[in-house]
Amino acid sequence: MLITDSPELQASGQLDYSSRNDELNRLLSAAVVSKSFRNMLLTNPEIALASGYQGETFNLSDADRSWLFSIKPNSLVDLAADMVTHQQTLSQECPVKVPLQSVRHFVRVN
């Protein structure tokens, strides 16, 4: 039996690609508008994430946190370039959302 509250299913329990992408884009946006947040993000991303930006927090996946903590960008341009590469990798790895109607053809729902 298949039970779901959502019209779409996701193969894994992780955030889907678009949600992950949104959070990374929010992080980059905060770095663009705030020089102090940008400097903290470039020099100490752990503290930048823990502190957030103007009361906002960033809901990054474990994989995104690991990626962010492992890179050592010298500038915002470097961070953005690394992020694009990371997001392209995510889009290839992330599970595809399947409309529930398609699943019903393959799975008997009781």
pLDDT at res. 102: 45
Q: Roughly what angle, to the nearest 10 degrees, separates helices 76-93 and 62-70? A: 140
Domains of the chain, by residue range, sit at 17-104
Residue 24's alpha-carbon distances to 44, 53, 102, in angstroms, are 16, 13, 30
pLDDT at res. 79: 95
> First CA to last CA across the chain, in angstroms?
5
Q: How far apart are CA 16 and CA 12, in angstroms?
A: 8
Per-residue pLDDT in tens (0 to 9) along the chain, 110 residues = 333 333 333 444 444 556 677 899 999 999 999 999 999 999 999 999 999 999 999 999 999 999 999 999 999 999 999 998 988 887 776 555 544 454 444 444 43
Tell me how far the alpha carbon of residue 99 is from its chain's centroid.
22
**pTM for the whole thing?**
0.66
SS3 56: strand
pLDDT at res. 19: 67
